[in-house]
Structure 1
Amino acid sequence: MIAVVGEALVDLVAEDTAGGYRAVPGGSPANVALTLARLQHPVRLLARLGNDGFGQRIRGHLHANGVDLTWAVSAVEATSLVVATLDDSGQATYQCYLDGTADWQWTTAELPNLSGTGLTALHSGSLALALAPGAAVVEDLFVRERDRGELTLSIDLNLRPSIVPDRVGEQRRVERQVRSAHIVKASEEDLDWLYPDRTVEQVMAEWRAVGVACAVVTRGAAGSCLLAPDGEMYRQSARRGEVVDTVGAGDAFTGGLLAALAGFGALGDQPGARLAAVTPNQWRQGLHQASTIASLTCGRRGADPPVLADVVAALSPGPG
């Protein structure tokens, strides 16, 4: 089982050009958990879920899709709200209503002891690792688990400059937090904003130098790249398909890659050794699967990753 810790909020996604919006459960960590569950991989979400109408909708949606909510906290605070507005190409921009809401109020007492729970990996990212006061609690959890050495630790930067605009502060935070991770994923957009004076390849090499075993960067229509533990760079072209919107596509990519690595036996104790044992063909397969899942998600409105049968069909070679 993979555990995911972080926000589970509501996205109001533009429904049409007339100004209508649809409420869709979202939040980057919750979307990763949803993707894993739809791929039929056991996943448990550590989230603080409000008791308001939006929170109840999130809980019902995740439960119905097979996400284990045993460790979810029933929070008294309101549910976080994000309004996603789409341009003509389906690219999303976000306006967020987050002050005092449930997702960012973690206390150490609310997080379980992960020792002996049968987990193989822990994933987090985005605002869960950026917004006080809860970010410090989640960061401390990753530090403890890195020291314990029994889980593969994964982080997706998924930066939000419109919410946390302090570039220097974000550089310091990211550089501190990636040291606790074995897998770090970012988008090219993340890195262009965070390090405007560096190339993607330079940043990935810097992460590897401080102990990140696997660095992954998604590049939109240009595909993705992955720096493996042995220093080999793998590149994957983007899968062509209809783009309805890009909401949740990066999260679906992350979930797809984690599911592939789990299938290879690459997650668990001795995480560095496990990731080092992944073969070149498996790295290529993992990137191909993740790219396919992201593309299928772009063909749906909102954060709506595909189920396993859809992925298998998309990955199967055509007739002839």
Structure 2
Amino acid sequence: MTAPFSTRTVRVAIAGEALIDLIMRPDGAYEPCLGGALYNLSRALSRQGVGVVYLNPLSSDRFGRALAQQLHDDGVHLAHEALVQQVTSLAVVSLNASGHPDYAFYREGVADRQVSAEGLNHACALQPDLQIICTGALALDARDADVYVPWLQAQRQAGHCVVVDANMRPSVMPDLAAYRAQVQMALMEAHIIKVSDEDLSWLGYASTDALASARELLDRSNASLLALTLGADGAWLLTRDGQWSGKEAQALSVVDTVGAGDSFLAGLLAALLDSAGPVGLLHGLDANRCTGVLRHALSSASLCVQQRGCVPPSWDETLAWSQAHPAVTAASAP
């Protein structure tokens, strides 16, 4: 699967936030770490051996230069090589006793928001081998409604596979109703949806059964595949015809969960691309393929949570973990 960075063709385009996570340490001080859900996804997917282009501009300030250098080191292509004058976004990340992050964002007039639907479409048109486009998280802010949903619509019409990770941050959105509506609009354009149990609650699904809510979302959508993440309880992969669960057999030594969902999605997409036959990415989603894809995604997330901050594993590291730590899997009727 893994090929040298210089020989990879771009198969995935990713748009969304790149920022600095100021992560609280046990002594109360804050440590700056490179982050942002879509930035993390770009790095994680490239480390899995997939050719990736990151579409948003980065700042010429110190943080922006560090963000750009890390993408370069991980083999991610930049649609905007020239850095811009606007400052880098910031997120203050406080961790609770279980290592779960709580975020506060500072994103007015920042570099990664200097985008347009027209610019994103133009950047995608420059990639002749493009198969997948991804967005989610802070990109689904209703204040950027004229950027991302029109881009998703155009890319779906162009025949690309659209992936949307809800990854909701309601505490930092000034208009929760508008934000929820914007996320729902984006999800309706997706071929592949990723949500957590918390996302489903914020989206207004009333059932206390996250799996039932995920099935309802998939049935309402135009998607072929939905990934539901449940933290320490593992994840589900749902199609129109089936659903499969996976969970680590043994408890993990969790340092923090920063970047876990991004690593999960990267593992999922890398495994989908690796297992796709000549009929296409989302065809042949049978039990064997779905359980294999889910296992790879879980392994990627499991390796990430055992390190501080977002440190996504490589394809080979993920495979080795999967082989050494067989997961508990199950299937159930949809």
Does 1:251 find its partner at 2:262?
yes
Aligned to 1:231: 241
Residues 46-57 of structure 1 aligned to structure 2 (within 5 Å): 46-57=55-66
> Which region of structure 1 is more displaced relative to structure 2, 285-294 or 69-78?
69-78
CA 138–33 in structure 1, closer or farther in 2 if over 3 Å, else same: same
Aligned to 1:281: 288
Does 1:129 find its partner at 2:129?
no
What percent identity do the matched residue pairs reach? 32
Q: Output the CA distance in 2 between the equivalents of 1:73 and 1:217.
A: 37
Aligned to 2:17: 7
> Which region of structure 1 is more displaced relative to structure 2, 190-199 or 107-116?
107-116
Aligned to 1:302: 309
Deviation at 1:196, TM superposition (A): 5.0
Q: Output the CA distance in 1 between the equivalents of 2:293 and 2:169.
A: 26
> Which region of structure 1 is more displaced relative to structure 2, 301-310 or 29-38?
301-310
Residues 10-25 of structure 1 aligned to structure 2 (within 5 Å): 10-14=20-24, 16-25=25-34
Any conservation in 1 of the 2:273–2:281 contact (CA below 8 Å)? no
Query: What residue ranges of structure 2 are gaps of 5+ in the alignment?
Result: 1-10, 327-334
Q: Output the CA distance in 1 between the equivalents of 2:119 and 2:222.
A: 29
SS in 2 for 1:103: helix
Q: Output the CA distance in 2 between the equivalents of 1:317 and 1:138.
A: 40
Aligned to 1:34: 43
Aligned Cα root-mean-square deviation (Å) = 2.2
Q: Deviations over 1:124-162 (max 9, x none)?
A: 1101122523x421211110111222x111000000011
Deviation at 1:72, TM superposition (A): 5.4
CA 10–131 in structure 1, closer or farther in 2 if over 3 Å, else same: farther
Any conservation in 1 of the 2:56–2:79 contact (CA below 8 Å)? no
> Which region of structure 1 is more displaced relative to structure 2, 255-264 or 233-242?
233-242
Any conservation in 2 of the 1:7–1:48 contact (CA below 8 Å)? no
Aligned to 2:228: 217
Q: Output the CA distance in 2 between the equivalents of 1:289 and 1:202.
A: 24
Letter in 2 for 1:12: L
Query: What residue ranges of structure 1 are gaps of 5+ in the alignment?
Result: none
Does 1:152 find its partner at 2:161?
yes
Normalising by structure 1, we get a TM-score of 0.90
Q: Output the CA distance in 1 between the equivalents of 2:109 and 2:142.
A: 11
Deviation at 1:213, TM superposition (A): 0.8
Deviation at 1:88, TM superposition (A): 1.9
Does 1:313 find its partner at 2:283?
no
SS in 2 for 1:114: helix
Does 1:181 find its partner at 2:190?
yes
Aligned to 1:138: 148
Does 1:163 find its partner at 2:163?
no
Aligned to 2:5: none
Any conservation in 2 of the 1:208–1:214 contact (CA below 8 Å)? no
CA 217–73 in structure 1, closer or farther in 2 if over 3 Å, else same: farther
Letter in 1 for 2:31: R
SS in 1 for 2:78: coil
Aligned to 1:82: 91
Letter in 1 for 2:286: T
Any conservation in 2 of the 1:178–1:207 contact (CA below 8 Å)? no
Letter in 2 for 1:186: V
Q: Deviations over 1:69-109 (max 9, x none)?
A: 14456322110001111122111111211122122231244
Q: Deviations over 1:184-204 (max 9, x none)?
A: 101111112222523432343
Any conservation in 1 of the 2:194–2:227 contact (CA below 8 Å)? yes
Deviation at 1:165, TM superposition (A): 5.5
Letter in 2 for 1:102: A
Normalising by structure 2, we get a TM-score of 0.87
Any conservation in 1 of the 2:263–2:297 contact (CA below 8 Å)? yes
Deviation at 1:166, TM superposition (A): 3.7
Letter in 2 for 1:259: A
Aligned positions, number: 311
Deviation at 1:294, TM superposition (A): 0.6
